[in-house]
Structure 1
Amino acid sequence: MLSNPVWAALSGPQACYAEASGDAARYSSDISPFAGLADPADPAAWRDLATLTSEALLTGPALSAGPGWQAEAAVPGIQMIGQSMTGVADPDAVVLTETDVPEVLDLVERAKPGPFRKRTIALGRYLGIRIDGRLVAMAGERFRLPGWTEISAVCTDPDYQGRGLGARLTLAVANGILARGELPFLHAAADNDRALRLYERLGFEPSHEVVFASFRYTG
């Protein structure tokens, strides 16, 4: 399940956000560019995906383009799991809502945490920290699988980095996940040593290597 998180989410707890066809599913385009396949090695699943979109971002331990699809780019990553960690509530963290989306998108533009769309915030609980009224850091929930929720969009305005805001929000989001009786997991770029060391200090453990790969349907 953790090795195929997007499919597990879209065929399970987040099916309400899915556009699906056979053994393929994707999030609505205004929520996320991610898609999932029941079996990425199955050519039929790739054919199902082609009925939904001509461009897709997938993640998993190893991905190869199916018939009619072409790999565009790939970024190696590490999945980390928080099976034995402890979350910590943060009194300064505020819950972000749809009314905060313009601020959130502005922060995303400055901090560049990865794919984030205007309705991504619908996927789960997002927390932010404001300083002098300005949103300067955030973190939230993205893929939700049976028993697991991914922490995502951990980012801090470049002018406020080095203050531990990202760590505080990661622990605060994890605290909410653990309170529901679920376990947190997350992803980081394989070459982001700083982030990997931070997450290990917070109690996350490496699970397995993944790749984030974009594909285009060429017919």
Structure 2
Amino acid sequence: MTRLDGHGLDHVFHRVRADLLDVTRAWTDSSGRADTGAAAVLELADPTGERPGRWLNAVGRPARLARLLATVEPEADVVAATVTRGTGALAGEVLAGWGLGPATTWDRMVTEVAPPVPDDGAPVVELLDLDRDVDEIEAVLTEANPDTHAGARGPRARAARWYGVREPAAGDVGGGALVAVGSATPVPAGAAHLGAIGTLPAYRGRGYGGALTARMTADGVAEHGLVTLGLYDDNDGARRMYERLGFAVAHEVETWRPS
């Protein structure tokens, strides 16, 4: 991946997170551009002030990252720390000292190649109007992806472009209710970050999620050159779909939260 040579504080997933939250402080052990194994930590804060505390976003090889975390002194309570997978086994005492315990493991995936967008006969993907469709979007996400942090009423919702697939309406012009939704947010990394992706359980297996993600990815690659997303590491169904669309894992992570 030509766009993923950044490391340390220039890591693409630092730049993605820095668009969603404000950077308050940063640490790195990088010795320069040639140090491709550099570790780096960002301390992040909610710019809206609605969620107090600090988030830590950490990248780098686990051994180096564990050593760097031992030097970090957060200026407020840590509400979450996302670190390269395997780091917690080496830095468990540091993370526990901030009142954190292991919570989730997930993967960050990327692509620079636009997938083919399905032609005739495929589900129709439309751009949504947040003012008009916000209630429908939220209704789909509540059932299809209740754990998402990127809802249609969140602080970053209007920075995103929202997409959807509607249930075919028999005998009518146009479609029926929304059954699948997703969002694409441009970020300073020169990328589009996909989130809030969900298909109602009753409509899964019909290609709606694949068509939706293919359209968002194709648009994102065309406009930004790079598309990123995240998924829980045990979500095998979503992983197979993303891999078919050309995504590859770029960063395996674990998140620690207050225990």
* 1:71 counterpart = 2:78: no
CA RMSD of aligned residues (A): 3.4
Q: Say if 1:82 and 1:203, in contact at 8 Å, map to a contact too.
A: yes
Say which SS state the counterpart of residue 22 (structure 1) adopts.
Answer: strand
In structure 2, relative to structure 1, the CA distance for the partners of 1:54 and 1:47 (3 Å cut) is closer
In 1, Cα distance between equivalents of 2:196 and 2:136:
14
1:35 paired residue number = 55
Gaps of 5+ in 1: none
Q: In the aligned structure 1, how far is the partner of 2:131 from the partner of 2:84?
A: 30
Please report the TM-score for the alignment, with normalisation by the length of structure 1. Answer: 0.75
Higher relative contact order at CA 8 Å, sep ≥6: structure 1 or structure 2? 1
**For residues 119-150 of structure 1, what are the alpha-carbon distances to aligned partners after superposition, in whole Å with 9 as ceiling and x for unaligned?**
24234212112225312101112572413222
- Aligned-residue identity in percent: 23
TM-score by length of 2: 0.65
Q: Distance in 2 between matches of 1:143 and 1:113?
A: 23
* Pair 1:111-2:131 in alignment: no
Q: Alpha-carbon deviations, 1:154-182, whole Å to 9, x = none?
A: 21011211111111111111122112132
Alignment match of 1:9 (pick from 16, 20, 23)? 16
Distance 2:141 2:81 in 1: 19
Secondary structure of the structure 2 residue equivalent to 1:115: coil
Residue 102 in 1 paired to residue 135 in 2?
Answer: yes
Whether the aligned pair in 1 keeps the contact of 2:180 and 2:199 (CA below 8 Å) is yes
Relative to structure 1, is the Cα distance of residues 5 and 215 closer, same or farther in structure 2, using a 3 angstrom cutoff? farther
Give the letter for the 2:257 counterpart. Answer: F
Question: Which is higher, the Rg of structure 1 or of structure 2?
Answer: 2
* 1:167 maps to 2:210: yes
> Which deviates further from its counterpart, 168-177 or 140-149?
140-149
Report what 1:80 is aligned to. 109
Measured in 1, the distance between the counterparts of 2:45 and 2:240 equals 31
Task: Report the alpha carbon displacement of residue 61 of structure 1 after superposing the two structures with TM.
Answer: 3.8
Number of positions where the alignment pairs a residue of Structure 1 with one of Structure 2: 208
Q: Which amino acid aligns with 1:47?
A: P
8 Å contact kept, 1:138–1:155? yes
Task: Tell me which of 226, 242, 245 is aligned to 1:202.
Answer: 245
Q: Which amino acid aligns with 2:15?
A: A
